[in-house]
Amino acid sequence: MEEKHKRIEELRQLLNQYNYEYHVLDQPSVPDAEYDRMMNELLNLEEENPELKSDDSPTQRVGGPPLEGFQKVEHRVPMLSLGNAFGEEDLKDFDRRVRDRIGENFSYVCELKIDGLAVSLIYEDGGLVRGATRGDGTVGEDITQNLKTIPAIPLRLRENVSMEVRGEAYMPKPSFMKLNEVREKNEQDLFANPRNAAAGSLRQLDPKIAASRNLSIFVYGVGTVDGREISSHSNGLDFLKELGFKTNPEWKRCNTIDDVIDFIGGWSEKRPDLSYEIDGIVVKVDALNQQEELGFTAKSPRWAIAYKFPAEEVVTQLRDIELNVGRTGVVTPTAVLEPVLVAGTTVQRASLHNEDLIREKDIKIGDYVVIKKAGDIIPEVVSVLEERRTGDEKAFSMPEQCPECESDLVRLDEEVALRCINPKCPAQLREGLIHFVSRNAMNIDGLGERVITQLFREELIHDVADIYQLTHGQLIELERMGEKSVSNLLEAIRVSKDNSLEKLLFGLGIRHVGAKAARTLAQQFGSMESLVQASIEDLEAINEVGQKMADSVVRYFQNEEVHELIDELKDAGVNMIYKGPKPVSIEEIDSVFAGKTVVLTGKLEQLSRGEAKKKLEELGAKVTGSVSKSTDLVIAGEDAGSKLEKAESLGIDVWSENRFVEELNE
């Protein structure tokens, strides 16, 4: 037994060293075949001697049995997101704010911003005990078993230190290409980009799937560490490297913001040559005592900022223009493109918004066009390359009839958009059904776009009332619907019947009535019956309801088909009563904010903008986005700009955030 134990320890040490050389240093010292032979020997020895197994053995990387689910875990130190910079001016503003607080004697560290999944790793006495996703920054998910499959994550450190570290797990470009090639052969959906592939791999319940995906990691920071003093971020990076972590070597200490800008410019050009995706540069004040002095806002540290690369622009051919009919009847033209990679994602379609935009940009079918992603998310046609036209391009004009039901299209209220106003239009009905079951409406889990489309195609549902007549026998016949899925879906439908009235109102898709307006109407009228009987004057008497919304609501409830629909929903047991807190009149609110028009400006530190707005509205204030003569109060946070200047010029009362919070506490 002693001999076997000695051999197991010897194999573990050798395999850990070979693993470090291959995945961290990128300097393999033995052939793959030799590594595999030794790994198999260790696997066999541990299988024969289970009492000698260890959590930090290299064999733990192959992936254990599937998990039942991920547990929520709270981070010891919150993983806050960084503020963003999109150009030189944003960087210089950041630099000015830093200098205003800590003076001139400091330096920055610039690092590549890896486009992956942020994770936290916890080690106790040198051994990995837990790994978690960032989650909402405070609470993440325990994905320890999946993270153990990443060879670049040490299962045991070179010192027996207890610490928490942060890193970015990612999928290298070659691994991403290979994965999608395999998925294409197997007729599976392709991953859009390496970031999605990495995140999807680490959230698999079967660790063997994560193990097969060839993921890696760069560790970029120390969260907490016991018994070790670290004076700067750059010292922390050196310490992490000494412990055996894989850190990104492409970082630089910069003394001025101009040096930072030069570093960014260099990597903007070299970015395509990397074997992994980056989407920007992270800039941090180096000294930790200065980071502490700068502190945090409610959402992000004041000592760091993330520079985001400008949207990548590429050229491709516009092959066709398709028309889509939305829930409200708006007909939207969509460009069908020759597939092209933009900012790490394959783009095949881009919205053209309306006919006026097509004319303004002189877009023709067959044109070569410049494509970019607005905010690195939404594909957009920027311009046409007229010099590449051959004469075979075709001009496009919007049709006069709906592409779905052939009803005449109209323009309402001098809108740019063309609409189909046929209430029986199948496209509108289908989109309306998808909206009705969505999270902010009736929130029927399991009844997503795919299932709605199936039900609609099979003519099992025609309007939203039909959802509540669905049976087990109808659902079990649908493709990809098993016994458990059907049972869960029917339960979700049943539960949705008890929703408060505002959920139903929003789900009905009344024009100009969003989620907030639906809640206001439900609060004021209390029941569907009262709202149906409301006049335009009744509606306009409500502070937040304007003429357009009032007209739209009255016109909607004048439709006989709507009355029939509501009766069907009522007969199915769908709640028609408001269940939330009762509205309070301004006169009843004992608050200095009651009846006041308030503007929030600048960066708030103690509350988010949304939290401040909600509290003000609860106390009877009307919160608007611009300063005018009707504004009663401006609450100014850090770096307040033109709104503060205008308020001062108009003599409007201005409060600091501290005064605002003191008033809330009282």
CATH topology of domain 2-62: Helix Hairpins (1.10.287)
Angle (CA) 209 168 224, round 5°: 120
Reply yes or no on whether the pLDDT at 50 is more than 70. yes
pLDDT at 376: 46
User: Would you call 124 helix, strand, or coil by DSSP?
Assistant: strand
Query: Can you spell out the DSSP letters for 343-381?
Result: TTEEEEEEE---HHHHHHTT--BT-EEEEEEETTTEEEE
Buried b / exposed e across 257-279, counting CB within 10 Å, b at 16+? beebbebbeebeeebeeeebbbb
d(CA 318, CA 384): 10
The answer to whether 275 touches 172, Cβ cutoff 8 Å, is yes
- Mean pLDDT, to the nearest integer, of 68-89? 82
pLDDT tier, 244 (very low <50, low <70, confident <90, very high otherwise): very high
User: Looking at per-residue confidence, does 73 or 129 come out higher?
Assistant: 129
Q: For the chain, percent helix, then strand, then coil, each to nearest 5?
A: 40, 20, 40
Integer Cα distance of 297 and 94 in angstroms? 13
Instruction: Identify the CA nearest to 638 among candidates 27, 256, 96.
Output: 96
pLDDT average, residue stretch 239-248: 93
Q: How many CB atoms lie within 10 A of CB 535?
A: 10
Provide CATH code, domain 501-571. Answer: 1.10.150.20
Neighbours of 496 (CB within 10 A): 23
Looking at the domain covering 586-665, what would its CATH class be? Answer: alpha beta
Other residues' Cβ atoms within 10 Å of the Cβ of residue 308: 17
Specify whether the CB–CB gap between 423 and 462 falls below 8 A. Answer: no
> Which band of pLDDT confidence, cut at 50, 70 and 90, is reported for residue 546?
confident
The yes-or-no answer to whether 426-496 and 501-571 have a common fold is yes
What does the block give as tokens for 498? Answer: 């008890």
What is 311-419's CATH topology? OB fold (Dihydrolipoamide Acetyltransferase, E2P) (2.40.50)
Question: Facing residues of 131 across strands?
Answer: 121
The pTM of the full predicted model, rounded to 2 decimals, is 0.50
**Better-scored residue on pLDDT, 625 or 258:** 258
pLDDT band at 106 (very low <50, low <70, confident <90, very high): very high
User: Exactly one of 53, 113, 178, 615 is catalytic; which is it?
Assistant: 113
The pLDDT of residue 248: 94
Degrees (nearest 5) of the Cα angle 149, 151, 156?
A: 90
CATH code 3.30.590.20 for 83-308: no
pLDDT of residue 191: 78
Active site residue 53: no
Q: What is the mean pLDDT of the chain?
A: 86
Q: Cα(531)–Cα(524) distance, rounded to whole angstroms?
A: 9
- Per-residue pLDDT, averaged over 294-319, amounts to 85
Backbone angles phi, psi at 248, to 5 degrees: -80, 125
Beta strands in 375-508 (DSSP E): 378-384, 409-410, 419-420
List pLDDT tens digits, range 342-360: 766 788 998 888 888 899 8
Ordered by start, the domain boundaries in the chain are: 2-62, 83-308, 311-419, 426-496, 501-571, 586-665
Segment 494-506 mean pLDDT:
95
- What pLDDT score does 548 carry? 85
Per-position DSSP letters for 240-286, written without gaps between them: HHHHT----S--EEESSHHHHHHHHHHHHHHGGGSSS-EEEEEEEES
Residues 286-299 pLDDT 10s:
999 999 898 887 66
Closest alpha carbon to 271 in 423, 424, 112, 401: 112
**478 neighbors 454 (Cβ within 8 angstroms):** yes
Give me 268's structure tokens. Answer: 């903007």
Q: Which residues contact 412 (CB under 8 A, 6 or more apart)?
A: 419, 421
DSSP 32-99: HHHHHHHHHHHHHHHHH-GGG--TTSGGGGG--SPPS-PPEEE-SS--PPPEEE-SHHHHHHHHHHHH
* Distance between CA atoms of residues 278 and 263, nearest Å: 14
CA atoms within 13 A on the CB side of 453: 5
CA distance 493 to 477: 18
The SS3 of residue 202 is: helix
Spatial distance between the Cα atoms of 219 and 23, rounded to a whole number of angstroms: 13
The structure tokens 């942020």 sit at 118
pLDDT exceeds 90 at position 258? yes
Q: Centre a 10 Å sphere on the Cβ of residue 390 and count the other Cβ atoms it contains.
A: 7
Q: Which amino acid is at 559?
A: N
Average the pLDDT over each of 23-32, 35-44, 194-203 and give the range with the smallest value: 23-32
* Cα Rg, the chain, nearest whole Å: 30
**What fold does the segment set 426-496 form as a domain?**
DNA polymerase; domain 1 (1.10.150)
Q: pLDDT over 90 for what percent of the chain?
A: 36
Quick one: pLDDT at residue 22? 63
Distance of CA 462 to the CA centre of its chain: 33
Pick the closest to residue 160 from 132, 130, 128 (CA basis): 128
Residue 32's pLDDT is 64
- Lookup: tokens for 515: 């989620």
| pLDDT beyond 60 at 375 | no
Question: Which residues, at least 6 apart from 213, have a Cβ–Cβ distance to it below 8 Å?
Answer: 171, 175, 179, 197, 198, 201
Rounded to whole angstroms, how far apart are CA atoms 351 and 332?
8
Q: Name the pLDDT band for 429 (thresholds 50, 70, 90).
A: confident
pLDDT at 582: 67
Q: Which amino acid is at 499?
A: N
- Cα gap 503→518, rounded to integer Å: 7
Helix boundaries (H) for 584-641: 609-618
In 137-247, which ranges are continuous DSSP H helix?
144-147, 173-185, 194-202, 207-211, 233-243
8 A C-beta contact, residue 647 and residue 599: yes
Take residue 256 and report the two structure tokens written for it. Answer: 């001025």
Tell me the mean pLDDT in the region 495-522.
Answer: 91
